[in-house]
Amino acid sequence: MRIKWFSFIRIAGLLSVLTYHFFQNSYPGGFIGVDIFFTFSGFLITALMIDEFAKTRHFKLIKFYQRRFNRIVPPLLLAILVVMPFTYLVSPDYVTGIGKQIAAAMGFTTNYFEIATGGSYESKFIPHLFVHTWSLAVEMHFYILWGLIVACVVRWMHKSNGDKKGMVVSFRAIIASISLVFALVSVILMGLRSFNLTDYSAVYFSSLTHCFPFFVGAVTASFTGIATVPKRFQQALSRARFLPTIVSLVVAFVFLVMLGFVMHFDSQETYLGGILLASLITAFAIVKARTLHNLTPNINEPKWATFIADISYSMYLYHWPLFVIFSQRMNTISAVIMTIIIGVPFSALSYYIIEPLLAGKQPRDIKNTALLKPIKTGLTAGGVILLVIAVVVVKTAPNLTQLDQKLWISSLYQARDNMTTSKTVIQADIKQQQAAKDKHKQSATIPKGVSIIGDSVTAGTRDYLQKNVADSTVDAAGERTMQLAYDVMMRAQANHLLRENVVLSIGTNALAGTNEQLEKLIYDLKPGHRLILVTPYDGRADETWNSSKLAKFERTLPQKYNFITIADWQNMARKHPEVFEGTDGVHFAGRHEGDVIYAQTVNDGLKEAAKTPVKK
């Protein structure tokens, strides 16, 4: 039984996700489209389970898993195979570790693969082509768990020898209770784990913390349904009126669109109730769409809506990798158009032809059975060719991106320099001890030159900096915050290794309270030093981001402290957008042009600093 108007729930989820991925800065909360899908899936699957139990008093677990496998796996495999030839259009960086990504996608463990590898849903230098399959992993985990639970409930009910007539009512009540408990536990876990985080990806990816939309849908199904409807909801349907119902449905969609504009992935409010609110609004929309179905017996759902809903799952699979690839070769609008031009036909092919054939059914849109054999032959040949290409791509894929290679090499140099520093400190201690024995005082002099303390941006250009910033040492590491930079500076200062000019290039990992940490760093910097602050740049950031707030704050400091100078990397980087094409908007992918302008920014800051006094 197909419920009219449910297609618009699927369309709302698809458009939300696509808009978010295509125009993330303009529609920052569009990731709730996944939660629309989750809630609808939980409703649909549970409603069908109730229908099956009401009709047969049984639930066939193996058949359930088989249906889920046939619906999910073939489109996923086809999408992976189709995407592989397009990877030749971009840098090998984009297929780094692609074999592991494919294995995680096909094994429905992408969410935990991303957590284990430190993946971020929003911020990644080279985005994984199949990172979006994290949602399939959570969905599959739900199907496996929920199928087992429902099967156990049915078996227990048969053993309890309950009233045959009341079994369906009892079944609904049990399903509703279990769903509600699971939903509450998951919501609470998400809220608790969201505290004291700077990147919420692990909470967002986890099946434990992000499964509650499915159970919100399951609770909704328990009180409503598809073919089998409880008496109370049947009474509600009989009292419903067309105009209030359709207005309520439209209002629900409007609220979901508004949430997409106001919610942010990196905001704790999203995890303390934002995602839950999106799921509850979706559940409300599902009930209203189900009601509208009964109120419109003589009105058919538009064919275009049915078509989009049919291909929504496959289109979700294609859109992300294709957009990532095309966006490296053309502007955003062109990339979106190409993604749709290629994604829609393959999605339709998957849903209307390939999936029925693999399930042993005749595609309903192929009336001439004589065409089936050549179609099968052509699809098989095409599949073999795509499989060969995919194997070649996986075999030849690099293990590290160019940036990762640079950071790895930088870390080796950093380790070497740390050993040299340790040797210098030991030698200095020996000299001080000898001076003490001779009863001579040795004053701690501040060495001339430049100490550069930075994060991953600095680490990526470390070698070039040391060669092109005179008399400098570089201490840089990925994920370095202001507090960690403070610790590095204090150690160098305590060991008399901090040079006269201190260049601080920290801020892309700015946390709440970074301004206060910087003030503490300034206060604890000993006299005799100058401080050059390199403003952070993030091409994705607006004025509300911590990095943007830090840059604005840093520009006010020279007015307050005469020993502070600004090396304005933020403004310099904005003048050279070509350096960041195809990157995360923070790093410049090891491009020589980026090395040059970054070093130039630091040197310009040092020239200005030379005109200022040291700290008194």
Walk me through the domains of the chain, giving residue ranges and CATH numbers: 7-396 (no CATH), 402-609 (3.40.50.1110)
Residue 518 pLDDT > 80? yes
465-492 in b/e form (b: 16+ CB < 10 A) is bbebbeebbbbbbbebbbebbbebbeeb
Q: What would the mean pLDDT of 588-597 be, rounded to a whole number?
A: 84
Query: In this predicted structure, what is the pLDDT of residue 588?
Result: 80
C-alpha to C-alpha distance for 269 and 263, rounded to whole angstroms: 8
Q: How many CB atoms are closer than 10 A to CB 292?
A: 21
Query: In this predicted structure, what is the pLDDT of residue 391?
Result: 96
Query: In this predicted structure, what is the pLDDT of residue 556?
Result: 95
Query: In this predicted structure, what is the pLDDT of residue 69?
Result: 93
What is the strand order of the sheet 530-534 is part of?
Answer: 472-476, 450-454, 501-505, 530-534, 564-567
Q: How far is CA 163 from CA 159, 230, 291, in A?
A: 12, 17, 30
Residue 390 tokens, joined: 């995919």
Residue 239 pLDDT > 60? yes
Q: How many CB atoms are closer than 10 A to CB 64?
A: 20
C-alpha to C-alpha distance for 96 and 115, rounded to whole angstroms: 17
- Angle, helix 482-494 to helix 514-524, in steps of 10 degrees: 10
Which DSSP symbol is given to 461? T
Query: In this predicted structure, what is the pLDDT of residue 443?
Result: 46
Query: In this predicted structure, what is the pLDDT of residue 162?
Result: 60
C-alpha to C-alpha distance for 231 and 46, rounded to whole angstroms: 18
Residue 101 sits at φ, ψ, to 5 deg, of -60, -45
Task: Show the beta-strand stretches assigned E in 379-487.
Answer: 450-454, 472-476
Higher pLDDT: 46 or 439? It is 46
Q: Give 35-75 as a 3 state SS string.
A: HHHHHHHHHHHHHHHHHHHHHHCCCCHHHHHHHHHHHHHHH
Residue 397 and residue 95 in contact, taking contact as beta carbons nearer than 8 Å? yes
Residue 423 pLDDT > 80? no
Residue 122 and residue 90 in contact, taking contact as beta carbons nearer than 8 Å? no
Nearest-CA neighbor of 101 among 132, 70, 125? 132
Q: How far is CA 277 from CA 192, 200, 553, 564, in A?
A: 17, 18, 35, 47
How big is the chain, counted in residues?
616
Residue 543 and residue 549 in contact, taking contact as beta carbons nearer than 8 Å? yes
pLDDT digits (tens, 9 = 90+) for 128-140: 899 999 999 999 9
- 10 Å CB burial of residue 573 (0-12, 13-18, 19+) is buried
Location of structure tokens 């999605």: 347
Cα–chain center distance at 192: 20
Location of structure tokens 């210098």: 424
Nearest-CA neighbor of 225 among 44, 40, 42? 44
Residue 41 and residue 139 in contact, taking contact as beta carbons nearer than 8 Å? yes
Nearest-5° Cα angle at 56, 50 to 60: 75
Location of structure tokens 């030159």: 449
Residue 609 tokens, joined: 């600093």
pLDDT, mean over the chain:
89
Residue 11 sits at φ, ψ, to 5 deg, of -60, -40
Q: What would the mean pLDDT of 549-556 be, rounded to a whole number?
A: 93
Higher pLDDT: 122 or 467? It is 467
pLDDT digits (tens, 9 = 90+) for 326-360: 988 888 899 999 999 999 999 999 999 998 888 88
Are β-strands 530-534 and 501-505 bridged in parallel, bridged antiparallel, or unpaired?
A: parallel
C-alpha to C-alpha distance for 327 and 336, rounded to whole angstroms: 8
Higher pLDDT: 90 or 187? It is 187
Tell me the β-bridge partners of 476: 454
C-alpha to C-alpha distance for 78 and 69, rounded to whole angstroms: 14
Location of structure tokens 């969609």: 253
Query: In this predicted structure, what is the pLDDT of residue 439?
Result: 47
Please count the CA atoms within 13 angstroms of the CA of 445 that sit on its side-chain side. 5
Are β-strands 472-476 and 564-567 bridged in parallel, bridged antiparallel, or unpaired?
A: unpaired
The answer to whether the Cα torsion of 374, 376, 380, 386 is positive or negative is positive
Residue 476 sits at φ, ψ, to 5 deg, of -135, 150
Return the percentage of the chain with pLDDT > 70, whole number: 90
Q: What would the mean pLDDT of 394-400 be, rounded to a whole number?
A: 84
Cα–chain center distance at 538: 17
**Out of 40-54, 374-388, 468-482, least confident range:** 468-482
Q: What would the mean pLDDT of 70-85 be, rounded to a whole number?
A: 95
pTM value surpassing 0.85? no
Residue 131 tokens, joined: 């990172």
Amino acid at the residue 570: Q
Residue 435 pLDDT > 90? no
Residues 6+ apart with CB under 8 A from 151: 59, 61
Residue 77 pLDDT > 90? yes
